[in-house]
Homo-oligomer: A and B are copies of this chain.
């Protein structure tokens, strides 16, 4: 049995160390590891059709990790096995992790029925790690049937997260500034459920008023399927059972309406598009002749001899087979 076959077997038996090892392998940027990862993922398929994939996004400081910790406990009590993929914005220069989300999930990180894994974004744009889709498949293969994908929402990344999950939960804070609230508009267009966090203490009035305003505006902008707007306090637990119930309901609807299968098909299409871009980049790594051609073009651009647009078009045209119409 090959190393990859052994790893796949241990993983599907639910071995936590095998899962950690598989994740490390999949996140590795070494070419040999990448080949093994592709082999492993080919063995595991496209994930479970009976899992729930929930994206959790929101501005920095909205309390996403604490809320996932509280929701995860509800889910475990309901018999689910919970995995959290917490996207960890890392510095493009040092490559190191900045956030230690694990420390924010005080309950889940010590619970045997949960698996928490922060993933560095490795300088990739958009707030999701390059391997998030692959990590979802690994967790599902290991028997986790509720996958939380946590990411920082900054007005653009939500579209990317939405393409990976069945349901997108947007975590908001009341009383945010002008610019912040206009950035949230993009998020609101793709959110399935919206939760105002930190609805506690003397903030309750403010939160209730912001939530009421938001509900009104959503009824106008998304009359067909306005997302539910809930109030929670991840810190003291208020509203968390109701939020979990809403997430479960939404999940049942997906199943009943047959929309989960559709969502999964479009998740696979989005994954394929991302993989296509990656395969295109990898070409140059594997082919020294093409890498040399690219380096020559880049230097001619840097020296001012060629225009970036023309040089790029020329290089791509030279690489591709002739159009059938021209041949």
Contact = CB atoms under 8 A, between A and B. Distances in A.
Interface of A: 38, 41-42, 45-46, 59-61, 89-94, 98-99, 121, 123-127, 133, 152, 154-160, 177-180, 182-183, 185-186, 189-190, 265-266, 268-269, 271-280, 282-283, 287, 289-290, 294, 297-298, 301-304, 307-313, 315-317, 319-321, 323-324
Nearest to A281: B277
B301 A268 contact: yes
A288 to B, nearest CB: 9
A155 B323 CA distance: 42
Contact of A316 (B133, B155, B283, B323): B283
B121 A309 contact: no
Contacts of A41: 307, 309
A148 to B, nearest CB: 17
A277 B158 CA distance: 22
A312 to B, nearest CB: 4
A interface majority secondary structure: helix
Given A126-B126, A272-B298, 7 more contacts: A38-B310, A91-B186, A125-B125, A126-B156, A265-B302, A272-B312, A275-B308
Contact of A304 (B268, B304, B315): B268
B308 A268 contact: yes
A323 B99 CA distance: 43
Contact of A93 (B154, B186, B310): B186
B124 A320 contact: no
A186 B98 contact: yes
A185 B99 CA distance: 11
B92 A159 contact: yes
A269 B156 contact: no
A312 B275 contact: yes
A58 to B, nearest CB: 10
B156 A189 contact: no
A94 B294 CA distance: 36
A276 B269 CA distance: 23
Contacts of A46: 304, 307-308
A247 B92 CA distance: 24
Contact of A179 (B38, B99, B268): B99
